[in-house]
Amino acid sequence: MQIRYLIVPAALPVIMFLSSSGYATELIYEPVNPNFGGNPLNGTYLLQNAQAQDSHDDPDKPDSLYEQPSALDRFTDSLETRLLNQLLTDVGDGNSGELITDDFIVQIVDNDGVLTVLITDRSTGDKSEIVVSGLNPTN
């Protein structure tokens, strides 16, 4: 009688294992990374996770690419722009003019409807000449 009680508990795990194998299915590996055949929509998610974990700094990258100009620089730029506009307005009235800044010398001459703008770079000495004709409607 004791043998019968020992066989039943020993056979119970075997019976459970054999009955559960009928419910099992085949395991299919599906990669997550789109480079290895995974869903392409996972690419952005994986890239953001990698960038969030990246603690290395690029030694060649400056901290800030944009440097905020000072109030004096902004005022100087605004004043130069205003003076150039006034100079061009005066040329439209038949007057010639010249503007000298820290960086450039701008000379504007109107010769009978032919507008000549000579720009000289003060640091290098390079000169650029812009000639516009047909400004005088009577010619």
For 86-96, the pLDDT digits (tens) are 887 877 676 78
Angle at 84 between CA 81 and CA 87, to 5 degrees: 150
Instruction: Give me the half-sphere count of Cα atoms (radius 13 Å) on the Cβ side of residue 43.
Output: 7
Residue 136 lies in a domain: yes
What is the number of structural domains in the chain?
A: 2
| Residue 124 counted as domain residue | yes
pLDDT in tens, 27-60: 888 888 888 888 888 889 889 999 899 888 777 7
Regarding pTM above 0.85, the answer is no
Model pLDDT for residues 15-28, shown as the tens digit of each residue: 766 665 556 678 88
CB 104 within 8 A of CB 87: no
| Beta-bridge mates of residue 120 | 105, 127
Quick check: is 14 in a domain?
A: yes
Q: CA 80, CA 76: separation in Å to the nearest integer?
A: 6
Q: For residue 95, report the phi and psi dihedrals to the nearest 5 degrees.
A: -100, 150
What mean pLDDT do residues 94-108 have? 83
Report the chain's mean pLDDT, rounded to a whole number: 79
Identify the domain containing residue 126 by its residue range. 94-139
Any domain includes 20: yes
Q: In whole angstroms, how large is the CA radius of gyration of the chain?
A: 41
Domain membership flag for residue 18? yes
> Quick check: 133 and 114 in contact, CB under 8 A?
yes
Please report whether residue 7 resides in a domain. Answer: yes
In a domain, 86, yes or no: no
Is 121 part of any domain? Answer: yes
Task: State residue 20's pLDDT score.
Answer: 54
